[in-house]
Homo-oligomer: A and B are copies of this chain.
Amino acid sequence: MTLVQFLDHAAVLVFALTGALVASRAQLDIVGFIFIACLTAVGGGTVRDVILNRDAVFWVTEPTFIALASAAAVLVFFTAHLLESRYRALLWLDACALAVAVPAGVGVAIGMGQPWPIVLIMGVVTGCLGGLMRDVVCNEVPLVLKQGELYVTCAFAGAGAALVVLTLTDEPRFALLACACVVFALRAGSLAFGWSLPVYRSRPPRH
């Protein structure tokens, strides 16, 4: 199993856990858990593969991805009541998922020899769109829209870090590792310490 394949599997697993947690907040039945978990788990990668016009979407040629996501959904259905705060677990699992999905997207684009702007975008697309579909369908406030939090920024910075490391070392594995670290560090810093960028305000502050 290559590093990109490992990242793809890890992203599917952890995003499926977040999807199932959102399903638990919507009080769905077990098939609803599986549906939302699969949508979240493969949504971003599917859009990536369709846009890049790959020969096949990654989970169509290897349905173990779907089995993995479904197993995660069943696990959450029977154990989520043991969590103290499902929303807190959701936020941190989503951070982990972002930190593996962004390098997975970056790795696929690098492997196809795409130019750097497309590598950057595919990192963001793979990382952010699955969670965005989950939130839009389940009527949660999308995490990408939370004010005063870093989210798309983490994906963007991580993909950028991968490109820098790749230029310096020409070693894709280091690049993907650096990407994962940057994404997780920024997102964890935002969740734990409130790191953020200035947001738009309709009037600038007086001096």
Contacts and interface: CB of A to CB of B under 8 A. Distances in A.
How many of chain A's residues touch chain B, expressed as a range? 35 or more
Interface stretch (A3-11, A59-67, A92-100, A170-178): A59-67
Nearest to A115: B63
B28 A145 contact: yes
A29 B77 contact: no
Given A29-B153, A35-B144, A60-B118, 4 more contacts: A32-B144, A34-B152, A50-B51, A80-B200
Contacts of A194: none
A180 to B, nearest CB: 19
Interface string A193-206: 00011111111100
Contacts of A197: 29-31
Q: Quick one: copies of this chain in the complex?
A: 3
Contacts of A66: 117, 121
A73 to B, nearest CB: 11
15 contacts: A26-B145, A29-B196, A29-B197, A29-B199, A30-B197, A32-B144, A32-B145, A35-B128, A35-B144, A35-B152, A51-B60, A80-B200, A81-B201, A81-B203, A137-B144
Nearest to A138: B145
Interface in A47-100: 50-53, 55-57, 60, 63, 66-67, 77, 80-81, 86
Given A51-B60, A53-B57, A60-B52, A31 B152 contact: yes
A124 interface: yes
A18 interface: no
A119 to B, nearest CB: 10
Contacts of A56: 53
A114 to B, nearest CB: 8
Contacts of A150: 29, 31
A6 B55 CA distance: 29
Contacts of A139: 141, 145
A111 interface: no
